[in-house]
């Protein structure tokens, strides 16, 4: 027995013995020949990890910029569902870059510590942005409670220009500044503005400038300059050319803001009649062709004066081309009044065409909600 054990040791200690080579290669350290990763694969795996990290960084930058500065919070649409869906959509869009490359990197080199770290980093980033998407809306909503909505009713308070400040009593009823802001139901970052100054009404577009500061940019009427709007609690401030330029202040009010009409009526030979809710007949009784735009607004009669009705959705502002009528011709057009919501009983007229030549279709909303023409 002792002789056999000694014999085994002698054989096993012989480096050139075939049995010893087999023992070392397949029993003591099995699979060593499969653990070697080529230099080319290691380099390829590192490159893929770098690409994955760049994609992850791009996702983070885009998410911060779009989500906070110009995204969901820009329009005050702070809901958990909207923020979570936004984050998931963006993550899925970028995932093809950073997640796919990370998986390929691990397949190429399973020993790559960078690929493992990259996977962990993706998980941490995803968990963090989802947590913020869930928590942030409630925090922003609490901050919003301190401020009046941008679409509130605003009453003129003061105007400062050239170091001189004028208040409401310094303006006539016709010339006093007024503003109405409508939200865009299709994109929470955009708004439509009707602004009245010096007795003239102007329509403008408004976009979120900074959701954090509650500032907005308005395409200033009759000028290449932009007007900056800022909401601070119950005050709306409009500035042109910075703090040293024109500064107009409005305060929130419970009274409905209505801007008076300054449109001019079109020619007498154009006969207009509403025959149904939003259905209008136009007849050209002249000897010449007459053209007008599809642009329309609804106006309401209050205390003997006509005012623009308030929108719930400003899509009706879109100008969908023009209409041309030959002499003696009649055309019927349909206009969507749903953008004004439920109309209160009273006298109304639909103003069609350009402001310097509006064609009016009159109608009445009865107490029971029916229309009379």
DSSP symbols for 341-360: -SPPSEEEEEEES-TTSBEE
* Sequence-distant (≥ 6) Cβ neighbours of residue 73 within 8 angstroms: 67, 136, 140, 211
Q: Residue 124: name the closest of 202, 59, 204, 62 by CA.
A: 59
- 311 with 330, same domain? yes
What's residue 345's pLDDT?
A: 95
CA–CA distances in Å: residue 96 to residues 47, 104, 123, 350 = 16, 12, 15, 52
Q: Is residue 262 part of a domain?
A: no
The yes-or-no verdict on residue 28 having pLDDT over 80 is no
Is residue 178 within 8 Å of 188, Cβ to Cβ? Answer: no
- Which structural domain, as residue segments, surrounds residue 66? 37-144
Q: Which of the listed residues 225, 252, 279 is the one where a domain comes to its end?
A: 252
203: domain CATH number? 2.40.128
At residue 15, the pLDDT reads 53
Reduced to 3 states (helix: H, G, I; strand: E, B; else coil), residue 224 is coil
Which range scores top for mean pLDDT: 57-61, 235-239, 353-357? 235-239
Does this model's pTM top 0.75? My answer is: no
Q: Phi and psi for 248 in degrees, rounded to 5?
A: -120, 130
Domain edge (last residue) among 118, 144, 170 = 144
Best CA proximity match to 156, nearest among 124, 210, 208, 196: 196
Q: Do residues 158 and 247 share a domain? A: yes
Beta bridge partners of 200: 197
Say if 282 falls within a structural domain: yes
- Please indicate, yes or no, whether residues 280 and 221 belong to a single structural domain of this protein: no
User: In angstroms, rounded to a whole number, what is the distance separating the alpha carbons of residues 317 and 308?
Assistant: 12
pLDDT in tens, 159-192: 998 888 999 889 988 889 999 988 877 776 788 8
Enumerate the β-bridge partners of residue 79: none
The answer to whether residues 70 and 86 touch, using CB atoms and an 8 Å cutoff, is no
Round to whole Å and give the CA distance between 107 and 110: 6
- C-alpha 298/C-alpha 348 separation (Å) is 7
Domain shared by 12 and 41, yes or no: no
Task: Give burial (CB, 10 Å; 0-12/13-18/19+) of 154.
Answer: buried
Confidence of residue 236 (pLDDT cuts 50, 70, 90): very high
Of 85, 112, 144, at which residue does a domain stop?
A: 144
Map tokens 């809710």 to a residue: 277
Q: Does one domain contain both 66 and 85?
A: yes
Backbone angles phi, psi at 369, to 5 degrees: 90, -5
pLDDT for res 55: 85
Residue 132 has pLDDT above 70, yes or no: yes
> Is residue 89 domain-shared with residue 158, that is, in the same domain?
no
Q: For the chain, what's the residue count? A: 373
Nearest to 143 by CA among 217, 73, 44: 73
Q: Check whether residue 73 and residue 117 sit in a common domain.
A: yes
Identify the pLDDT of residue 72.
45
pLDDT of amino acid 151: 81
Report the CATH number at residue 280: 2.60.40
Same domain, 212 and 282: no
Domain membership of residue 208 (yes or no) is: yes
Q: How confident is the model at residue 331 (pLDDT cuts 50, 70, 90)?
A: very high
In a domain, 239, yes or no: yes
- What is the reported pLDDT for 75? 45
State the chain's maximal CA–CA distance in angstroms.
132
**What's the whole-number average pLDDT of the chain?**
79
268 burial type by CB count under 10 A (0-12 exposed, 13-18 middle, 19+ buried): exposed
Together in a domain, 67 and 93: yes
Quote the pLDDT of residue 147: 59
Tokens of 326: 């030959």
Residue at 8 is within a domain: yes
Cα dihedral 42→45→46→49 (10° resolution):
-160
**Within-domain flag for 308:** yes
pLDDT mean over 250-263: 87
Number of compact structural domains in the chain: 4
Q: Which of 73-82, 177-186, 357-366 has the highest mean pLDDT?
A: 357-366
Report if residue 261 sits inside a domain: no
Q: Are residues 117 and 195 in the same domain?
A: no
Establish if 149 belongs to a structural domain: no
SS3 367: coil
Co-location of 322 and 247 in the same domain: no
Higher pLDDT, 23 or 329: 329
152 contact partners, CB below 8 Å, separation of at least 6: 236, 252, 253
Dihedral-angle region of residue 297 (phi above 0 means left; psi in -120 to 50 means alpha; beta otherwise): beta
Helix, strand, or coil here: 17? coil
pLDDT higher than threshold 90 for residue 330 = yes
Pull the structure tokens for residue 92: 């899925």
Same domain, 319 and 359: yes
pLDDT higher for 290 or 114? 290
Query: CB within 8 A of 45, min separation 6: which ones?
Result: 105, 106, 108, 109, 112, 114, 115
């Amino acid at each position: 027995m002792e002789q056999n054990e000694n014999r085994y040791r002698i054989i096993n200690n012989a480096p050139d013995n075939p049995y010893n080579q087999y023992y070392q290669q397949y029993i003591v350290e099995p699979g060593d020949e499969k653990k070697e990763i080529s230099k080319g694969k290691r380099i390829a795996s590192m490159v893929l990890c770098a690409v994955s990290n760049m994609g992850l960084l791009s996702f983070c930058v885009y998410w911060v910029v779009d989500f906070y500065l110009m995204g969901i919070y820009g329009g005050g649409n702070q809901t958990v569902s909207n923020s979570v869906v936004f984050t998931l959509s963006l993550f899925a869009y970028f995932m093809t870059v950073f997640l796919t490359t990370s998986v390929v990197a691990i397949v190429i080199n399973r020993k790559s510590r960078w690929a493992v770290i990259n996977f962990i980093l993706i998980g941490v980033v995803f968990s963090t942005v989802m947590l913020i998407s869930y928590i942030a809306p409630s925090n922003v909503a609490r901050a919003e409670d301190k401020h009046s909505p941008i679409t509130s009713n605003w009453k003129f308070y003061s105007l400062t220009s050239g170091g001189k400040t004028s208040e409401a009593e310094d303006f006539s009823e016709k010339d006093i500044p007024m503003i109405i802001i409508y939200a865009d139901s299709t994109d929470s970052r955009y708004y439509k503005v009707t602004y009245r100054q010096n007795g003239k009404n102007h329509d403008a577009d408004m976009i979120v400038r900074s959701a954090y500061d509650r500032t907005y940019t308005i395409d200033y009427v009759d000028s290449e300059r932009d007007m900056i709007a800022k909401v601070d609690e119950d005050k709306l401030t409009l500035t042109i050319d910075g703090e040293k330029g024109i500064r107009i202040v409005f305060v929130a009010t419970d009274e409905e803001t209505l801007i008076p009409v300054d449109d001019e009526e079109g020619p007498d030979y154009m006969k207009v009649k509403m025959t149904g809710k939003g259905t209008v007949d136009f007849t050209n009784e002249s000897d010449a062709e007459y053209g007008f735009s599809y642009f329309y607004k609804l106006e309401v009669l209050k205390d003997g004066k006509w005012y623009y009705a308030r929108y719930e959705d400003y899509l009706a502002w879109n100008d969908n081309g023009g209409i041309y009528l030959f002499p003696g011709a009649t055309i019927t057009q349909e206009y969507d009044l749903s953008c004004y919501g439920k109309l209160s009983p009273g006298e109304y007229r639909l103003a069609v065409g350009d402001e310097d030549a509006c064609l009016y279709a009159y109608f009445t909303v009865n107490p029971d909600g029916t229309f009379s023409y």
